Chains A and B, each alone.
Chain A
Amino acid sequence: MTTLTLLAADGEFQAPGPEIFDFPPLYSGAPVWLNKPVLLAVIGALIICVLAWTAFAKPKLVPRGIQNIGEYGYTFVRDQCARPFLGKDAERWMPLLLSLFLLILLWNFFGVIPVLQIPVNSHIAYPIIFAVTIYVIKIYLGIKHQGGLGYFKNMMFPPGLPKGVYVLMAPLELISNLVLAPFTHAVRLFANMFAGHLILAFFASVGFHFLFEQLTPLGAPLGLVGFLMTTLMTGFEIFIQFLQAFLFTMLAAMYIGGSLHADH
């Protein structure tokens, strides 16, 4: 909205930039932290709690209504994320993985819900929270199940390689596991949401500018393209939002599974 206001003032098209992710406080005089993404984060968490409560509070042996949907989500996370990496430990880690998946998914979906239109995870703080949580669990479980030395030994010296390779392999594995993995875990989700929102905002503002603000015979087809692309990209974005939630949860399961069993 702020971008569009600016554009109207200038009268010339200006592509939206990173500033579209910055939100002022909700009302004048509100504390600086009380802005739209924060509000959406809280609302999202509450919605997940309420939905999950209606689905699972009193589960029936023969599922009805929303319990069916809930079970579909549960079995999806269990069969696609947890079981491939955790095997028989899958059930034990489902509370964490299901919470993770549902919250990320809804926070992502906020990006395409009219009026809300900002994926909460496009603010890097939220992916960081998730990634750090998984990272801490990963390190803790690794040391607990493989021993302090054993964990790092298994990590840096995967068996079955010629000795010389370890000179190169060991530091790479260490950096990859302890630094790159959590970094990419968080940034992958953040960057996808960030870029997706930017693309949607770009096409939407093209359409809005050339069809409503500056309607000219030359600009109108461009505005039409912008409008069509917005529609198309919204569909694509829904797919990406789901995919990233799934991927994040799957990677979380993979990290936890890797710490539980040294399978290298």
Chain B
Amino acid sequence: MTLAATVLAAEENNPLLPHTYELVVGGLAFLLVFLVVGKILTPRIQKTLAERTEAIEGGIQKAENAQAEAQAVLQQYRDQLNEARQEAARLREEAREQGAQIKAELREEAQAEARRIVEAAHAQIEADKAQALAQLRSEIGRLSTDLAGRIVGESLEDEARQRRVVDRFLEELEGSGTTAVR
């Protein structure tokens, strides 16, 4: 029955009119929540969320950078490889050209040398021939006089000796003549 009395008394309350003590309690409760949740905790979670976004974006950025770098390095290698190939081809071509040139030069040189040797030999032969002729000429003269002297000098009575002299002379002539003519 005390409850009933309370209820009857409370029925005078207008639900649209606030109790002062409820305003105070509500204000303090809201203030407490605002200080703890709003002022202390919300900045923390905001910081964490920002860091997370940064971490994710940073990770993506990092991956993109790494990929770009790898791409660049690959391109660089390809370029270098290309360059090296071209260089090698160039060198090969150059070497081939040089080889051909050297071969041509050597051939020419060899031909010139051969020609030179042949010519020298010809000249030598000519000189030898001329010398032999000259020698022969003077020899013949000397021999003729020699022979004539001998013929004149020897006694003509010994026909046998005379004959021997002539034979000897002819033999001598033959012996030296072979060398001289050659």
Interface flags for A80-107 (1: CB within 8 Å of B; 0: not) read 0000000000010011101110110000
Nearest CB to that of A61 among chain B residues? B52
Closest to A102 in B: B37
Q: Interface with B: A14-22, A214-222, A236-244, which one?
A: A14-22
Nearest to B17 among chain A residues (CB) is A124
| Cα(A48)–Cα(B37), bound, Å | 8
Q: Contact partner of B22 among A38, A52, A133, CB < 8 A?
A: A38
Distance of B53 from chain A, by nearest CB (Å): 10
| B30 in the interface (beta carbon within 8 A) | yes
Q: Select one of A9, A42, A48, A57 contacting B44, CB under 8 A.
A: A57
CA distance A32 to B6 in the complex (A): 12
SS of A interface (majority): helix
| Residue contact B34 to A96, C-beta cutoff 8 Å | yes
Q: Distance in Å from the Cβ of A183 to the closest Cβ of chain B? A: 11
Q: Flag if A37 contacts B37 (CB, 8 Å).
A: no
What's the interface size class on A, roughly? 35 or more
B131 at the interface (CB under 8 A from A): no
- Does B80 reach chain A (CB closer than 8 Å)? no
Asked if A98 and B48 sit within 8 Å, CB to CB, the answer is: no
Residues A126 and B33 in contact, CB atoms below 8 Å apart: no
Chain B interface (Cβ < 8 Å from any Cβ of A): 3-4, 6-7, 10-11, 13, 15-19, 21-23, 25-27, 29-30, 32-34, 36-39, 41-49, 51-52, 55
Q: A6-B4, A53-B36 given as contacts; is B43 within 8 A of A125 (CB)?
A: no
Contact (A125, B22) CB under 8 Å given A18-B15, A94-B46? yes
Contact of B6 among A24, A52, A75, A129 (CB under 8 A): A24
B34 touches A99 (CB 8 A): yes
Q: Cβ of B44 and Cβ of A126 under 8 Å apart?
A: no
Query: Is the C-beta of A44 less than 8 angstroms from some C-beta in chain B?
Result: yes
Known: A57-B41, A124-B15. A24 touches B3 (CB 8 A): yes
B residues near A70, Cβ cutoff 8 Å: 45
List the 6 shortest-distance A-B pairs measured between CB atoms, nearest first. A95-B38, A22-B10, A125-B18, A125-B22, A33-B21, A45-B29
Residues from chain B with Cβ under 8 Å of A71 in the complex: 45, 49
Q: Which residues of B contact A32 (CB under 8 A)?
A: 21
A222 to B36 alpha-carbon distance, docked (Å): 48
Contact pick for B41, options A3, A52, A91, CB 8 Å: A52
A19 with B29: CB separation less than 8 A: no
Q: How far is the CA of A194 from the CA of B34 in the complex (A)?
A: 25
From the candidates B15, B19, B32, name the one contacting A194 in the complex (CB within 8 A). Answer: B15
In the complex, the chain A residue whose C-beta lies closest to that of B43 is A95
Return chain B residues, CB-CB under 8 Å to A5.
Answer: 3-4
Q: B35 to chain A: closest CB distance in Å?
A: 9
Which residues of B lie under 8 Å from residue A56 when comparing CB positions?
Answer: 37, 41-42, 44-45
Q: Does A204 make an interface contact (CB < 8 A)?
A: no
Q: Are B15 and A59 in contact (CB under 8 A)?
A: no
Contacts of A6 in B (CB 8 A): 3-4, 7
Contacts A5-B4, A32-B21, A103-B29 given; 19 further ones with Cβ under 8 A? Answer: A2-B4, A3-B7, A42-B29, A44-B29, A49-B36, A53-B36, A60-B48, A61-B48, A75-B49, A95-B37, A95-B38, A96-B34, A99-B30, A99-B37, A99-B42, A123-B15, A123-B18, A123-B22, A128-B18
Cβ of B33 and Cβ of A99 under 8 Å apart? yes
* CB contact under 8 A between A133 and B37, given known A5-B4, A128-B23: no
A74 interface contact, C-beta 8 A: yes
Query: Chain A nearest CB: distance from B6 CB in Å?
Result: 5
At the interface, yes or no: A41 with Cβ under 8 Å from chain B? yes
Q: A125 contacts B11, CB within 8 Å?
A: no
Knowing A49-B32, A130-B30 touch, does A99 contact B13 (C-beta < 8 A)?
Answer: no
Docked Cα-Cα span, A99 to B11, in Å, equals 33
Known: A95-B38, A95-B39. Is A133-B23 also a contact (CB below 8 A)? Answer: no
